Homo-oligomer: A and B are copies of this chain.
Amino acid sequence: MAKESYVDVLVIGAGPTGLFATNALVKAGVNVKVIDQRPIKVAAGQADGIQPRTLESYGLVERLLNEGNQMHMAAFYNPSPNGGIELTERVPDTTAPTARYPFEVTLHQGAIENIFLDSMAASNHSVTRPCVPTSITISENEKELRDPQAHPVKVVVQNLAPQDGEPDTEVIHAKFVVGADGAHSWVRKALGIKMEGEQTDYIWGVVDLIPETNFPDMRNKCVIHSEKGSCLIIPREGDGVRLYIQLSDKGALDSGTGRIDRTKVTPHKLFEVAQTILQPFTIETPKSFDWWTLYIIGQRVASNFSINERAFIAGDACHTHSPKAGQGMNAGMNDSHNLAWKLVHVLRGWADISLLKTYEAERRAYAQDLINFDKKFAKLFSTKPQTEDDQDGVTHEEVMHAFQIYGLFTTGIGIHYTGTSIVDTKYQSLASGLVIGQRILPQIFLRATDSRPYEIQDLIISDTRFKVLVFVGDTGDAKQRDKLNKLAEEMKGVLSPRAPGGDVSKLFDIMTFGTTKKEKVIYNDVPPFFRTHWSKVFIDDVDTLGKIGGNGYEYYGIDKKEGAIVIVRPDGYVGTIAPFNGTEHLKNYFANFMSQA
On whether the beta carbons of B103 and A544 are closer than 8 Å, the reply is: yes
The answer to whether residues A92 and B216 also contact, given A70-B450, A72-B450, A72-B451 and a CB cut-off of 8 A, is: no
Q: Which of B102, B235, B450 contacts A544 (CB 8 A)?
A: B102
User: Which of B218, B451, B524 is within 8 Å of A73, CB to CB?
Assistant: B451
Contact B71 A523 (CB under 8 A): no
- CB atoms of B545 and A220 under 8 A apart: no
State whether the Cβ of A321 lies closer than 8 Å to any Cβ in chain B: no
Return A550 CB to nearest CB of chain B, in Å: 14
A94 at the B interface (CB under 8 A):
yes
Interface string of A467-510 (1 = CB under 8 A from B): 00000000000000000000000000000000000000000000
- Residues of A232-267 whose CB lies within 8 A of B: 235, 239
Contact for A534 among B70, B219, B452, B543, CB less than 8 A:
B219
Contact between A544 and B73 (Cβ–Cβ < 8 Å)? yes
Q: Would A90 and B450 count as touching, CB distance under 8 A?
A: no
Chain A: residues with Cβ within 8 Å of the partner, total of 38
Is B216 within 8 A of A524, CB to CB? Answer: yes
Indicate with 1 or 0, residue by residue over A68-79, a CB within 8 angstroms of chain B CB atoms.
Answer: 011111000000
Q: Are A214 and B544 in contact (CB under 8 A)?
A: no
Give residues 442-473 of A contacting B (CB, 8 Å): 446-447, 449-453
Contact flags (1/0) for A509-549 with B, using CB distance below 8 Å? 00000000011101110000000001000000001110000
Query: Closest chain B residue to A517 by CB distance?
Result: B90
**Cα–Cα, bound, A544→B73 (Å):** 8
* Chain B residues near A91 (CB-CB < 8 A): 519
* Interface residue A97 (Cβ < 8 Å from any Cβ of B): yes
The distance from the CB of A211 to the nearest CB of chain B, in whole angstroms, is 10
A518 CB contacts on chain B under 8 angstroms:
73, 90
Q: Which of B235, B522, B534 contacts A450 (CB 8 A)?
A: B235
Q: A144 within 8 Å of B by Cβ?
A: no
Decide if the interface of chain A is mainly helix, strand, loop or mixed. Answer: loop
- Contact status B544-A93, CB under 8 Å: yes
A523 / chain B contacts, CB cutoff of 8 Å: 216
CA distance A523 to B235 in the complex (A): 16
Within 8 A of B (CB), among A62-86: 69-73
Contact, CB under 8 Å: A214 / B93 = no
- Alpha-carbon distance between A544 and B71 when the two chains are bound, in angstroms: 11
Instruction: Say whether B92 contacts A544, CB under 8 Å.
Output: yes
A77 to chain B, nearest CB (A): 13
Contact present for B73 and A522 (CB under 8 Å) = no
Contact pattern, A 409-450, Cβ under 8 Å of B = 1, otherwise 0: 000000000000000000000000000000000000011011
- B545 and A102 contacting across the interface, CB-CB below 8 Å: yes
Partner of A449, one of B97, B218, B449: B218
> A208 to chain B: closest CB distance in Å?
18
Residues of B within 8 A of A103 (CB): 452, 544
Q: Which of A71, A450, A518, A534 has the most CB of B within 10 A?
A: A450
| CB–CB B216/A522 < 8 A | yes
Contact between chains at B220 and A451 (CB < 8 Å): yes
A239: chain B residues at CB < 8 Å are 534
A89 at the interface (CB under 8 A from B): yes
The answer to whether A89 and B519 touch across the interface, beta carbons within 8 angstroms, is yes
Q: Contacts A72-B543, A102-B544, A524-B214 given; indicate if A90 touches B449 (C-beta within 8 A).
A: no
Return chain B residues, CB-CB under 8 Å to A447: 219
Q: Complex Cα distance A117/B450, Å?
A: 30
Q: Which residue of B lies closest to A522 (CB)?
A: B216
The reply to whether A219 and B450 form a contact with Cβ atoms under 8 Å apart is: yes
Per a CB cutoff under 8 Å, which of B72, B90, B452 touches A452?
Answer: B72
Which residue of B is nearest A72, CB measured?
A: B451
Assess the B73–A220 pair: CB atoms within 8 A: no
Name the B residues within 8 Å of A93 (CB-CB): 544
Q: Are B220 and A97 in contact, CB atoms less than 8 angstroms apart? A: no
For A235, the chain B residues whose CB sits under 8 A away are: 450
Give every chain B residue within 8 A of A218 (Cβ-Cβ). Answer: 449, 534
**Once the chains bind, are A449 and B102 in contact (CB under 8 Å)?**
no
Alpha-carbon separation in the docked complex, A71 to B218 (Å): 43
CA A72 – CA B548 in complex, angstroms?
13
A-B contact pairs, 24 of them (CB 8 A): A70-B452, A72-B446, A72-B450, A72-B451, A72-B452, A73-B518, A89-B519, A90-B518, A90-B519, A91-B519, A92-B544, A92-B545, A94-B544, A102-B544, A216-B522, A216-B523, A218-B449, A218-B534, A219-B447, A219-B450, A220-B449, A220-B451, A235-B450, A239-B534
Beyond contacts A72-B543, A216-B523, A235-B450: 4 other A-B pairs, Cβ-Cβ < 8 A, are: A69-B450, A70-B450, A90-B520, A103-B452
Closest 8 CB pairs of A and B: A92-B544, A219-B450, A219-B449, A72-B451, A73-B451, A216-B522, A90-B519, A70-B452
